[in-house]
């Protein structure tokens, strides 16, 4: 029997991971990406151990290790620098693989290089924007335009089509034309990178504040650490109203220091000068905290959704890309098991849709970060260096419940294949 041949719309982090996973199992696949040239865009992201385990299976562990920071711990603080919760991460947290904090562009380039080396240059076709598709019992035909949507550049037929085209997915809009813009949390994020002197152990991720004003930061480049510096990704988060255009989410929108920095002027963490961090920004992007409502169906015969197109989520819990990597690996595993392609696509949805929908909703409740809001609301102001106002069992419970939901609890992950 001939093996099913696939089309992937979207050469982002998930589309490229999927191409590598399918190729490893001997399947032919071509990725069609809208932009004319894939560039190393964005700032920091976290690869949690469940996705690192998958990326290690794809042979990318050493390359990731050579550019990323191996995250040693995750800690939550109130704005006066008092610790709420701290847990070891990656190898230090008892996992058999690291957690990586990495520049999204660095990760994207690692994936792109691997796809081009293993599948060939033709495996990723840029300047191909998915416009539409039709399907029948024999196959699916996708139509692509140039990046501007001006003229049709290709019509391609294959056995199946996967929409990995991000939070503003064209494929999802065709399937759900009445869905409208993403769901806005009420919080605006200013994402920046700054090179500064190391703080804490130079490998820690921390969050401070509460639901209305928060700072998240973690170093992301090994090259800077090797020079004795920290290349820090930071996210300043403020609750503000936002107009419809801004709520759509444009990853290239520039952010301004004066829009957020002064709101943090009375914060004193003790071990990090926050204003110095902001003032040393190499770049700042403004992106709303948005997600998409869970939908009742991803798979329609020969087509399905994957990654952000399927389950865009708030960044609380640092799970967005990791869940997309799990989608890709699940689909490739099911392809290896074989069967009718429409059944494989449906099985993929059955394995991934409900669990990722639950994570989307858990992240709306701020995921594991909700302990920061609990302290903000409940602390009587008498705690010492470490908050004792929340019962340690409750803190442990929140952290463990989220790890189990998102699939990276060390106890189960280390024993999985
Ligand atoms: C430019 C950019 C910068 C980002 N920066 C950050 C960041 O700093 N931190 C963070 O946490 N997350 C960032 N993200 C989002 C993050 O990459 C995703 O949340 C996550 O990795 C899921 O990956 P994905 O492949 O599903 O989506 P994405 O990585 O968003 O990839 C989707 C891809 O589909 C392409 N595409 C869109 N429409 C079409 C179409 N009609 N036809 C074909 N291709 C199409 C896009 O150009 C993009 O390459 C960024 C995304 C982008 C596109």
Give the residue, by CA position, lying nearest to ligand 1 atom 17.
Answer: 13
- Confidence (pLDDT) at 101: 97
Tell whether ligand 1 has an atom less than 6 A from the beta carbon of residue 166.
yes
Pick the range with the lowest mean pLDDT from 24-28, 343-347, 370-374, 405-409.
Answer: 405-409
Contacts of 236 (CB under 8 A, 6+ apart): 189, 190, 192, 214, 215, 260, 261, 263, 264, 278
pLDDT attached to residue 411: 67
For ligand 1, mutation pick of 125, 164, 165, 329 (most atoms within 8 Å of CB) = 165
Reported as a pLDDT band with limits 50, 70 and 90, residue 363 is confident
Q: Taking the CA of residue 316 as centre, how many other CA atoms within 13 Å lie in the half-sphere pointing to its CB?
A: 29
Identify whether the C-beta of residue 414 lies closer than 8 Å to the C-beta of residue 95: yes
Task: Give the HSE-up count for residue 221: Cα atoms under 13 Å, Cβ half-sphere.
Answer: 18
| Average pLDDT of the residues in 69-87 | 92
Cα distance between residue 166 and residue 164, in whole Å: 6
Predicted confidence (pLDDT) per residue in 378-392, tens digit: 888 888 888 888 888
Q: Which of 28-32, 87-91, 205-209, 375-379 has the highest mean pLDDT?
A: 28-32
User: Which pLDDT does position 417 carry in this prediction?
Assistant: 58
Measured in Å, residue 263 CA sits from the centre of ligand 1 at 29
pLDDT value at position 403?
79
Is the minimum distance from the CB of 310 to ligand 1 under 6 angstroms?
no
CA–centroid distance, residue 144 to ligand 1 (Å): 18
Which band of pLDDT confidence, cut at 50, 70 and 90, is reported for residue 53?
very high
DSSP state of 153: E
CA of 164 to the centre of ligand 1 (A): 9
The whole-angstrom separation of Cα 172 and Cα 151 is 21
Q: How far is the CA of 23 from the centre of ligand 1 (A)?
A: 21
Q: What angle do CA 157, 353, 361 make, to 5 degrees?
A: 135
Angstrom distance (rounded) from CA 357 to CA 334: 20
pLDDT value at position 414?
Answer: 65
**Model pLDDT for residues 328-340, shown as the tens digit of each residue:** 999 999 999 999 9
Q: Is 320 in the pocket of ligand 1 (CB under 6 A)?
A: yes
Q: What's the pLDDT band for 412 if we cut at 50, 70, 90?
A: low
pTM (whole model) above 0.85: yes
Structure token digits, residue 125: 């076709």
Residue 371 has pLDDT above 90, yes or no: no
Whether ligand 1 lies within 6 angstroms of the CB of 321 is answered as yes
pLDDT-derived band at 202, boundaries 50, 70, 90: very high
Euclidean distance between CA atoms 151 and 158, whole angstroms: 21
Provide the 10 A C-beta neighbour count for residue 257.
Answer: 15
How far apart, in whole angstroms, are the C-alpha atoms of residue 58 and residue 63? 11
Cα–Cα distance measured from residue 86 to residue 76, given in angstroms and rounded to the nearest whole number: 6
Residue 155 Cα to ligand 1 midpoint, Å, equals 23
Query: 220: Cβ below 6 Å to ligand 1?
Result: no
33 lines ligand 1 (CB under 6 A): yes
Distance CA 148, CA 106 (A): 26
Burial of 32 (0-12, 13-18, 19+ CB in 10 A): buried
87-113 per-position pLDDT tens digit: 898 898 888 999 999 999 999 999 999
Bridge pairing between strands 83-88 and 73-77: antiparallel
Q: Is the CB of 42 under 6 A from ligand 1?
A: yes
Residue 13 CA to ligand 1 centre (angstroms): 7
CATH class, range 6-71+98-181+293-364: alpha beta
| pLDDT value of residue 413 | 67
How does DSSP assign 248-316, residue by residue? T--TT-B--GGGTGGGGTT---SS--HHHHHHTEEEEEEEEEEE----S---BTTEEE-THHHH---ST
Mind listing the pLDDT tens digit for each residue in 161-201?
A: 999 999 999 999 999 999 999 999 888 999 999 999 999 99
Ligand 1 pocket residue status of 106, Cβ below 6 Å: no
Atom index in ligand 1 nearest the CA of residue 312 equals 19
Tokens in use for 128? 């191909």
Per-residue pLDDT of 111-122, as tens digits, reads 999 999 999 999
Could you tell me the residue ranges of all domains in the chain? 6-71+98-181+293-364
Q: Band the pLDDT of 316: cuts 50, 70, 90.
A: confident
């Amino acid at each position: 029997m001939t093996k099913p041949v696939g089309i992937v719309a979207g050469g982002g982090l998930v589309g490229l991971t999927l191409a590598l996973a399918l190729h490893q199992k001997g399947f032919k696949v071509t990725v069609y990406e809208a932009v004319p040239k894939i560039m190393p865009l964005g700032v920091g992201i976290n690869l949690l151990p469940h996705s690192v385990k998958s990326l290690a299976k794809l042979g990318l562990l050493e390359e990731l290790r050579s550019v990323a920071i191996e995250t040693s711990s995750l800690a939550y603080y109130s704005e006066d620098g008092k610790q709420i919760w701290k847990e070891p991460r990656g190898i230090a947290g008892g996992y058999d693989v690291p957690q990586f904090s990495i520049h999204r562009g660095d990760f994207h380039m690692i994936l792109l290089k691997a796809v081009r080396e293993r599948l060939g240059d033709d495996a990723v076709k840029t300047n191909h924007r998915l416009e539409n598709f039709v399907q029948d019992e024999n196959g699916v035909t996708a139509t692509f335009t140039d990046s501007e949507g001006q003229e049709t550049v290709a019509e391609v037929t294959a056995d199946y089509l996967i929409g990995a085209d991000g939070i503003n997915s064209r494929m999802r809009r065709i399937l759900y034309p009445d869905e409208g813009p993403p769901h806005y949390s009420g919080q605006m994020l200013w994402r920046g990178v700054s090179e500064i002197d190391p703080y804490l152990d130079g490998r820690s991720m921390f969050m401070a504040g509460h639901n209305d004003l928060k700072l998240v930061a973690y170093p992301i480049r090994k090259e800077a650490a090797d020079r004795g510096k920290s290349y820090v990704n930071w996210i300043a988060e403020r609750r503000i109203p936002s107009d419809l255009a801004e709520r759509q989410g444009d990853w290239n929108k520039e952010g301004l220091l004066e829009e957020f920095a002064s709101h943090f002027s009375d914060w004193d963490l003790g071990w990090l000068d926050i204003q110095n961090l902001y003032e040393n920004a190499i770049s700042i992007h403004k992106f709303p905290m948005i997600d998409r409502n869970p939908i009742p169906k991803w798979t329609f015969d020969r087509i399905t959704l994957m990654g952000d197109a399927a389950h865009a989520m708030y960044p609380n819990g640092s799970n967005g890309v990791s869940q997309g990597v799990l989608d890709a690996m699940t689909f490739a595993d099911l392809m290896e098991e074989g069967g009718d392609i429409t059944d494989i696509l449906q099985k993929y949805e059955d394995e991934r849709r409900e669990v990722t929908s639950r994570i989307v909703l858990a992240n709306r409740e701020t995921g594991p970060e909700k302990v920061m809001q609990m302290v903000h609301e409940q602390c009587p102001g008498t705690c010492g260096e470490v908050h004792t106002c929340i019962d340690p069992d409750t803190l442990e419970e929140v952290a463990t419940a989220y790890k189990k939901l998102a699939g990276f609890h060390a106890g189960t992950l280390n024993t999985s294949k």
